[in-house]
Structure 1
Amino acid sequence: MARMKFICDSERCIECNGCVTACKNEHEVPWGVNRRRVVTINDGVIGQEKSMSVACMHCSDAPCMAVCPVDCFYRTDEGVVLHNKDICIGCGYCSYACPFGAPQFPSNGTFGLRGKMDKCTFCAGGPEEDGSQAEFEKYGRNRLSEGKLPLCAEMCSTKALLGGDGDVISDIFRNRVVRRGKGSEVWGWGTAYGKAPNPEAKPEKKAETESKS
């Protein structure tokens, strides 16, 4: 069984926000909610800008599921994390727990009245019947039931955003990295601890006592 995941290649993302627009248009996302957004770090710093499209990452150990007091979140057989708006009480715990800010309150009116939480569904709809009007009104279009991938990934002009079977898209990203000639500076110990590898570094010489023995 496929495990659906998103990967965004920051080397390809051009901050066009095409994925954001495609998502809002496809699902008629309520006002005040962006199921997907583009974030940029080091904005304005020449040579150091990195942009990335962010949404619900459909975590294997989702913190939103862990903190929800009414257990409205559930995981499909394909690993997509969805929620049931009929059960949701709008407490907002999931919004605080999610490191990606995926669950959001829709805001209506002058004072931003709150209601049920809303989030990225990986274009997989909700608990209602696949393709039904009730499902569309609450969760948007169910493209996965139609054999299609999330529209945000399909509409990405530079193919920076990849969505689909986690094994497949990770292979695509891995091949890109290899072609770029990058390796340890992209992942691994140096990335985790902020230490760039030094290609000119030479292994330390063994102690003189060892060489004599």
Structure 2
Amino acid sequence: MARMKFICDSERCIECNSCATACKNENEVPWGVNRRRVVTINDGVIGQEKTISVACMHCSDAPCMAVCPVDCFYKTDEGVVLHNKDACIGCGYCSYACPFGAPQFPSSGTFGLRGKMDKCTFCAGGPEENGSKAEFEKYGRNRLSEGKLPACAEMCSTKALLAGDGDVVADIFRTRVIHRGKGSEVWGWGTAYGQPPQQQSKAPEGKKS
């Protein structure tokens, strides 16, 4: 059984925010909630600036599940961590426990009151029937049941954000690290603009390699 995971390649991310925009558009995320956001580390420091796309990482041992007093979190067969909004009481424990800041609470009513928790679902919906109106209204579109990957990863212009089977995603990232170039070649400038690959040097005539 596949274990769904996200990986963001900081060498490819160009801070275009297409992943965050695609997520909000696909799932009609409530105003004030960002299931996915782009974070820049060492902003403005030449040579040290890195940008990554962050959301729920669907942890194998999710701390949000461990601290929830009403057990509104559950894990699918694919390893996706989902939650039941009908069971959520808005206590906020999950937001304190999550190191990625994934669980968020839209403001509701009087100052200080929390609404139902909302977070990235890996575009896998919720406990309602797959593709139902109730599921979409609470959790967004269930792309996984349609055989598709999350909208954020599919919309990434430089393919910095990878999503899918954790083993496959890890192999793709490992291959990039081994073969990637430097500078513009990190995200394939030569491939995009048809620059010919460097030719291997041939052994001089009369000599056997």
Q: Is the shorter-chain TM-score for this pair beyond 0.5, marking a shared fold?
A: yes
Quote the residue 2:118 is aligned against: 118
Quote the residue 1:156 is aligned against: 156
Provide the C-alpha distance between the structure 2 equivalents of 1:109 and 1:66, rounded to a whole number of angstroms: 28
Provide the C-alpha distance between the structure 2 equivalents of 1:71 and 1:10, rounded to a whole number of angstroms: 34
Q: How does 1:71-90 map to 2 (within 5 A)?
A: 71-90=71-90
| Unaligned runs of at least 5 residues, structure 2 | 183-209
Verify the 8 A CA contact 1:126 1:139 in the aligned structure 2.
Answer: yes
Q: Percent identity?
A: 91
Quote the residue 2:27 is aligned against: 27
Quote the residue 1:101 is aligned against: 101
The Cα shift of 1:114 comes to 2.1
User: What's the TM-score, normalizing by structure 2?
Assistant: 0.84
What do the CA deviations read for 1:143-184 (whole angstroms, capped 9, x no partner)? 0000000000000000000000000010000000001379xx
What do the CA deviations read for 1:23-42 (whole angstroms, capped 9, x no partner)? 00110101111000000111
- Count of matched residue pairs: 182
- SS of 2:13's equivalent in the other structure is coil
Corresponding letter in the other structure for 1:133? K
Quote the residue 2:128 is aligned against: 128
Verify the 8 A CA contact 1:125 1:139 in the aligned structure 2.
Answer: yes
Verify the 8 A CA contact 1:38 1:53 in the aligned structure 2.
Answer: yes
The Cα shift of 1:46 comes to 1.1
Quote the residue 1:3 is aligned against: 3
* Shift in CA distance, 110/88, structure 1 to aligned 2, threshold 3 Å: closer
Provide the C-alpha distance between the structure 1 equivalents of 2:156 and 2:107, rounded to a whole number of angstroms: 28
What do the CA deviations read for 1:77-99 (whole angstroms, capped 9, x no partner)? 00000000010100000000000
Task: Confirm whether residue 57 of structure 1 aligns to residue 51 of structure 2.
Answer: no
User: What's the TM-score, normalizing by structure 1?
Assistant: 0.83
Corresponding letter in the other structure for 2:27? H
* Shift in CA distance, 109/158, structure 1 to aligned 2, threshold 3 Å: farther
Quote the residue 1:202 is aligned against: none
Provide the C-alpha distance between the structure 1 equivalents of 2:113 and 2:147, rounded to a whole number of angstroms: 36
Corresponding letter in the other structure for 2:157? S
The Cα shift of 1:107 comes to 2.1
The Cα shift of 1:70 comes to 0.4
The Cα shift of 1:15 comes to 0.5
Corresponding letter in the other structure for 1:120? C
Verify the 8 A CA contact 1:38 1:51 in the aligned structure 2.
Answer: yes
Name segments (4+ residues, structure 1) moved above 3 Å. 108-113
What do the CA deviations read for 1:110-139 (whole angstroms, capped 9, x no partner)? 847521100000000000000000000000
Verify the 8 A CA contact 1:67 1:93 in the aligned structure 2.
Answer: yes
Corresponding letter in the other structure for 1:180? R
